[in-house]
Structure 1
């Protein structure tokens, strides 16, 4: 867990798949991140129906932190939602989000019936809330990915509020700023006034949180990548035909540079910054190339499967899953990978996804639609919302906590993801010391390549979450050792550790 005495995170030079605290008692250890997130964990104003009440609905943030810690989570993706009037989930949910970073001074009223924004005057109430929520998360042992901007709602939420509900739309501000599409806010070159307003906001966020050790930055959620969608997909979004969207890559790189340069100029500790999947892009199989080519320390990849090279997507009815969900690639250490279902399997998430991602060297986080209706087990999402109820995601939530528990027990900083070590294809290993292996199918015996030695053995049932010790395993010579779960058929994990008492 983050400690207030520890410094901020930096990419580990020993194992660049993980972060490590820069100072304090935890310096040098691997930090593994995992957790659930949902749209209204910073702003007020999310609820069923296209229109909201006069008083925006407010998440019980303390209850949200308890929900996370009870399940062993230690990471929040803190959502930035920029519209004061917008919808999601097919228009069946409103996201009329407040507070916003700018003061509502008028004269005149915005589309939501409240005073228009003065984009040159920052609202201290927003930044006070931001600091309070990040501080409270840190006190609960939770790291926070602070999302600076959102792109998705600007071009992929239902029109016309995807633009008309934004403070930078002409009818919503007193400054003469008149954004008509995402291109005006996320594609360089920007109008100099827009650029100056964005830069002042970014610097204020950094000034507000720079001294907190549990902070990571995120540039923007699913901004445009220079591609287009089919007219059919546009129709699903409520548009007559697919519009033209520009490429936000250079803008996102500018945001990264702005953050890094401001931290350096002020003498602040640097915090890791991340860049996440863009959509749509010109070539889906290359969706992750701008992420890997950036100056960001961490990334959240999107689906890049060959099966989607010529259109289609894993969220379409009957579509096969992306490899990032079903059989994740091994993290090669080029970037820390925070693997978010939001970018390749929104609405999905189960225990095997969490374990597979962990054992391939990723940090799995869940876009938790089950929280749309509330934080309690009895909460049910209205049928027309099209999202599963709270209970649907419980296996994934508890599994994320289980992976974290093992991550903190093992010597994670020295472990490498290996496809070749076990016949199942899923293993984290520090060869000659310890091994964590997943058998995902529950299909009986499997093999693990081990050096000669004596091993302590622990089994974990992924479904029931039961743990049991087994007899000491003796490998008389190097080679494949056959193992079989002691549990009933179903996925299981075995933890092997060389005995140090002989």
Structure 2
């Protein structure tokens, strides 16, 4: 009897277990892919504990008598030759005349070439004031924006939003959708190219490198990234209603012109090539020029962009100077592999603004908040990007005037933006102080995970970022001899010197102020 009861209970227990399994199995399956990731995180924490917490080395304090001083502004000399990718450290460019490494960083805004706004003609952009603003923040680079349409943008319902000048000349034959005369795509508006040349020249005279944008994906789409408040394609020169040349960039008649950023229409490609030749003829003699094919053209535009990169390189081969050509992220739906596989000299990929990958030197990377997260970022991103071997640049609302192009509901004087701009300039100072041609990202040399270093026995250098402040441990096992250093407070730009220690082992340092911190160390 007892045996039969036991058998019966075993049956019920088995049924109960099976029921639980049936209920829990889907949950387990759903969680299963995360288990290796969680185990990896645990392993990393254990490894970090063993490497750093169990072996912090000697703690190095700052001399109490040390006084603070302001970090000086160090900018590159004026360009004396076009940029080339560095052979020694292909994460960066070099001045082809001097061989000096050139780290690029700075902020850019949407109306720095063409005027835009709620009037016809639109308000004039104060370009000299903008250059002074960039110089005051110790920047040395910006993207020079172009817009292909004359009226309407995806980001405002304002029907009176105008953009000028256009590269193409208006005619006396009929009226376009914007109410003005149609374009003749075989003739150019010299005012556009005169302005382009003047602005590149002014930038050169103040020590700025300029990326000349040739096309813009936000000018040809009726919807992008969920924005469709107005349709810029309606006023595009390649819209059949807007030119006298029988050019139609909307083959599928969906009231959008993404086809113009592909190789689908040979006549349009020919027109684009002619326009590119005109741009190159206008600015080829300048040393401070880079080219950008297009800002965020749609996914699938890469063959068109590859073609134009090759076209620029081939055309400039016959010119006195050859300049770097860049490709920025396709959006939406972009794939970074299309950038790394491209013939471009530099790229701006998509990604996580708070988790920058280590740049391996396969391309010069201009990490642009515009493609990472839009109107975003902070000074922590600046240092993470720089110490991972990137060249960080910032999409800046600047004066907030370009409400139809991105500067919506954002305060240009927000303390986050103010600090971000200043810290871009701080990175430029360190880039020019250090032997950047020999420095590479070594995340494993600092307990914080952010370190640029030049590991040589004489004049080794370490630049370490500590996002949470407090203590950081640095591995000096590859370096012998005396090491001196300083702390930078990124909140106010003050440096605190007085660090002295020796190499050969781990050493721990404690920031003498609250908040995130930068530690610069150099061996004698």
SS of structure 2 residue aligned to 1:369: coil
Cα distance in 2, alignment partners of residues 2 and 218 from structure 1? 22
* Alignment match, 1:248: 301
* Alignment match, 1:439: 466
In the alignment, structure 1 residue 189 sits paired with structure 2 residue 264 = yes
Cα distance in 2, alignment partners of residues 369 and 115 from structure 1? 32
Cα distance in 1, alignment partners of residues 413 and 218 from structure 2? 24
Q: TM-score under structure 2 normalisation?
A: 0.79
* Alignment match, 1:149: 215
* Alignment match, 2:519: 494
In the alignment, structure 1 residue 14 sits paired with structure 2 residue 88 = yes
| 1:476-491 equivalent positions in 2, closer than 5 A | 478-487=504-513, 489-491=514-516
SS of structure 1 residue aligned to 2:232: helix
Distance verdict in 2 for CA 1:249–1:473, change over 3 Å? same
Task: For structure 2, list consecutive stretches of 5 or more residues without a partner in the other structure.
Answer: 1-74, 251-255
Cα distance in 1, alignment partners of residues 515 and 78 from structure 2? 40
| 1:135-174 equivalent positions in 2, closer than 5 A | 135-155=201-221, 156=224, 158=228, 161-174=231-244
| 1:299-448 equivalent positions in 2, closer than 5 A | 299-303=347-351, 322=352, 325-373=353-401, 385-391=408-414, 392-432=416-456, 433-442=460-469, 444-448=470-474
Q: TM-score under structure 1 normalisation?
A: 0.83
| 1:276-291 equivalent positions in 2, closer than 5 A | 276-281=328-333, 287-291=335-339
Shift of 1:3: 5.2
Shift of 1:474: 2.7
In the alignment, structure 1 residue 467 sits paired with structure 2 residue 520 = no
Shift of 1:464: 2.0
Shift of 1:473: 1.8
Is 2:293–2:327's contact at 8 Å kept on the other side of the alignment? yes
Cα distance in 2, alignment partners of residues 91 and 276 from structure 1? 27
In the alignment, structure 1 residue 36 sits paired with structure 2 residue 63 = no
Kindly indicate whether structure 1 or structure 2 has the higher relative contact order, using CA contacts under 8 Å at least 6 residues apart: 2
Shift of 1:5: 6.4
Shift of 1:6: 1.2
Shift of 1:269: 1.7
Is 1:119–1:175's contact at 8 Å kept on the other side of the alignment? yes
Cα offsets for 1:244-265 (capped at 9, x unmatched): xxx111100111111011111x
SS of structure 2 residue aligned to 1:371: coil
Shift of 1:220: 0.4
Cα distance in 2, alignment partners of residues 91 and 143 from structure 1? 34
Shift of 1:90: 4.9
SS of structure 1 residue aligned to 2:445: coil
Equivalent residue for 2:282, pick from 208, 213, 216: 208
- The count of corresponding residues between Structure 1 and Structure 2 is 434
Cα distance in 1, alignment partners of residues 311 and 461 from structure 2? 42
Distance verdict in 2 for CA 1:94–1:354, change over 3 Å? farther
Cα distance in 1, alignment partners of residues 291 and 412 from structure 2? 30
Cα distance in 2, alignment partners of residues 204 and 95 from structure 1? 27
Is 2:121–2:162's contact at 8 Å kept on the other side of the alignment? no
Cα distance in 2, alignment partners of residues 93 and 441 from structure 1? 47
Cα distance in 2, alignment partners of residues 400 and 95 from structure 1? 32
Shift of 1:440: 0.8
Cα distance in 2, alignment partners of residues 83 and 95 from structure 1? 11
Shift of 1:38: 1.1
Task: For structure 1, list consecutive stretches of 5 or more residues without a partner in the other structure.
Answer: 47-51, 226-246, 304-321, 375-379
Shift of 1:28: 2.1
Shift of 1:369: 2.1
Shift of 1:162: 2.4
Distance verdict in 2 for CA 1:278–1:184, change over 3 Å? same
RMSD: 2.1
* The structure with more radius of gyration: 2
Is 1:357–1:363's contact at 8 Å kept on the other side of the alignment? yes
Distance verdict in 2 for CA 1:11–1:299, change over 3 Å? same
Shift of 1:170: 1.8
* Alignment match, 2:475: 449
* Alignment match, 1:228: none
Cα offsets for 1:435-459 (capped at 9, x unmatched): 11111112x2110001232111111
Is 1:459–1:470's contact at 8 Å kept on the other side of the alignment? no
Shift of 1:412: 0.7
Shift of 1:89: 3.6
